[in-house]
Amino acid sequence: MPLRKHQITKPDGRYLIYYSFEGREPPEPSVAAAEAPLEPKSGHMELRWHPLLEEWVIVATHRQERTFLPPAEYCPLCPTHDPSFPTEVPASDYEFVVFENRFPSLRRDAPEPASPAPPYAATAAQGVCEVILYSPDHDSTLGAMPLPVVRRLVDVWVDRYRELAARPEIAYVFIFENRGREIGVTLTHPHGQIYAFPYIPPRVERELAVAARFRAERGRCVYCTVLERERAEKTRLVAENESFTAFVPYFARLPYEVHLVSRRHRSSLVELSARERGGLADVLKTVLLKYDSLWGFPMPFTMVMHQQPTDGREHPDCHFHIEFAPPYRSRDKLKYLAGCETGAGSFINDTLPEEKAEELRWAEPRT
């Protein structure tokens, strides 16, 4: 599916890219790229080394000032309609738009921090934080969009992955969506995010090490093995087509956790064929509709993609998958991560994965 990109530079130096499909023209570039004044370089920004856990912690103090749940008429992610209230998107209409986060955790031109005394260490918070707007419609959700639109979003993700992966300083392209006030979303306009990290994040590093051990011991991919098992047992399946399978895993840490796994061993979005991309869009939309149908309101969640690092090394054990982690344990109760989960790292699931999968299998949108 041919896509067209039209890139502009905002007055503060951030890029903004309009994506258009099927011969549709990109938005009029004549609309002024206006926006509220900002000081993106204020505050303190660096990576600090955590010597007790061997991981980087991102310090980004300007993020304290980020816009917090504005009323809909002041949404900074809506298209600019009123020149006296310029938003992030100067065009009045578009298909998808990607731009650098105004309150980034990682930045292309991150300053070099002062060196602390050992055992401490700091380095520049170099990277890219992007926002992807799925729609100019403030009240839409990804699941409600027509399948061809979701399919095009997959192409946008592929393009973003490819472009960010090409940057030499980027070791990992992390595509995700935080949805719902219950997990702290500060802007409700339908959007996803991308963090292009200068390091492989700890959770992913752990997955890679585990997958390598599994292959060394059993001679095959752990994701392929789990997928085979879930498909054989069927009790935890949620949705499937010939390219992707969605299930609540046997070992789910959270009640409504769903994994969406490529049927074939593909390491990243880029490796998916056109047919597989279509399959991904299809299962993704199905899962989203099931979530939103379950209780009659949009299910809050984090949706994260795990794929091939872009650090230049080979990672043959990578198996592209998406994980959904909704914060509810029942319709009216949240599952909190408290002492046991955060302080010991041990998860307690108050529900049976087989039962939650069945609930989701039955959940269908009312037509």
Residues classed as catalytic: 191
Omega cis (within 30) before 86:
no
Q: For residue 27, give Cα distances in angstroms to 18, 30, 95, 131.
A: 7, 9, 9, 18
Residue 57 C-beta: closest distance to a second copy, Å:
5
Residue 50 C-beta: closest distance to a second copy, Å:
4
Label residue 34 exposed, middle or buried (CB < 10 Å: 0-12, 13-18, 19+): middle
Cβ nearer to a second copy, comparing 302 with 308? 302
Torsion over CA of 235, 238, 240 and 246, rounded to 10 degrees? -100
Could you tell me the two tokens for 82? 């009123």
- Strand ranges across the sheet with 128-133: 3-9, 15-21, 96-100, 128-133, 191-197, 172-179, 301-306, 321-325, 258-262, 244-247, 237-240
Label residue 80 exposed, middle or buried (CB < 10 Å: 0-12, 13-18, 19+): buried
User: How far is residue 249 CA from its own chain's centroid?
Assistant: 20
Nearest-angstrom CA–CA distance, 216 and 31: 57
Cβ nearer to a second copy, comparing 95 with 207? 207
Cβ nearer to a second copy, comparing 158 with 185? 185
Cβ nearer to a second copy, comparing 273 with 342? 342
Residue 356 C-beta: closest distance to a second copy, Å:
11
Cβ nearer to a second copy, comparing 93 with 233? 233
Q: What's the CA angle centered on 258, arms 254 and 264, to 5 degrees?
A: 140
Closest among 321, 359, 322, 329 to 347, alpha carbons compared: 329
Cβ nearer to a second copy, comparing 61 with 273? 61
Residue 257 C-beta: closest distance to a second copy, Å:
10
Residue 78 C-beta: closest distance to a second copy, Å:
22
Residue 133 C-beta: closest distance to a second copy, Å:
17
Torsion sign across C-alpha atoms 161, 174, 43, 110: negative
Judge whether 106 and 128 are in contact, CB under 8 Å.
yes
